[in-house]
Amino acid sequence: MDSQDAIQLLEADHREAEALFDHYEKVKEEASAQEKMKIAKKVCSALLIHMEIEEKIFYPQVRKKIDDDDLMNESMVEHARAKDLIKQIGQLKPNDPMFDAKIKVLGEQITRHVEEEESEMFPKVKKAKLDLSLIGAELRKGQNRMREEHGLTPVAA
Ligand SMILES: [Fe+2]
Ligand SMILES: [Fe+2]
């Protein structure tokens, strides 16, 4: 795989999360509680890792270069809201009547957040003087370190 720049990497993560949410919606009526738990855990881990590398690596560098603190602050609030919902999901059993509802709302919130990143933040990032390949490599490194911590397969650089 060619090494991705920062935006390509983050957008690939976004597509992966969307695919997992779609998959959950498609199978939730028929799937066993165990199967649903597996998908839920996968999407929640992927999102936690994604938000972590954005907050620790991407956002701070972007904030310095684009003159839009409001946008960056709103993004942080949206992450906090998603993390709170992920925490609530982690405390539920998959046969809990609220499980599907929380996954669905998390998916909707993430879709909206992703749209804002891709339509407002990323275009500003592309215009700013940032070394997106270097940041992409930093993101990949952080992502792989955290994937291991979450027991997921690392992705090749
Ligand atoms: Fe984000
Ligand atoms: Fe993102």
Chain centroid to Cα 39, Å, comes to 15
What is the chain's Cα-based Rg? 16
Q: What mean pLDDT comes out for the span 77-89?
A: 97
Please give the pLDDT value at position 2: 61
For residue 81, give the ligand nearest its CA. Answer: 1
Confidence category of residue 77, pLDDT binned at 50, 70, 90 = very high
* Cα dihedral 22/149/52/130 (nearest 10): -100
Check: CB of residue 60 under 8 Å from CB of residue 121: no
Q: Does 103 score more than 60 pLDDT?
A: yes
Confidence category of residue 147, pLDDT binned at 50, 70, 90 = confident
Helix (H) or strand (E) holding 23: helix 6-27
Q: Which domains does the chain have, with CATH numbers?
A: 6-149 (1.20.120.520)
Which residue type does 21 have? Answer: F
52 alpha carbon to ligand 2 midpoint, in Å?
Answer: 10
Q: How many CA atoms lie within 13 A of 85 on its CB side?
A: 23
CA distance 65 to 83: 26
CA distances from 5 to 2, 11, 111, 137, 152 (A): 9, 10, 22, 7, 22
65 alpha carbon to ligand 2 midpoint, in Å?
Answer: 18
56 alpha carbon to ligand 2 midpoint, in Å?
Answer: 12
11 alpha carbon to ligand 2 midpoint, in Å?
Answer: 7
Token pair 């060619």: residue: 2
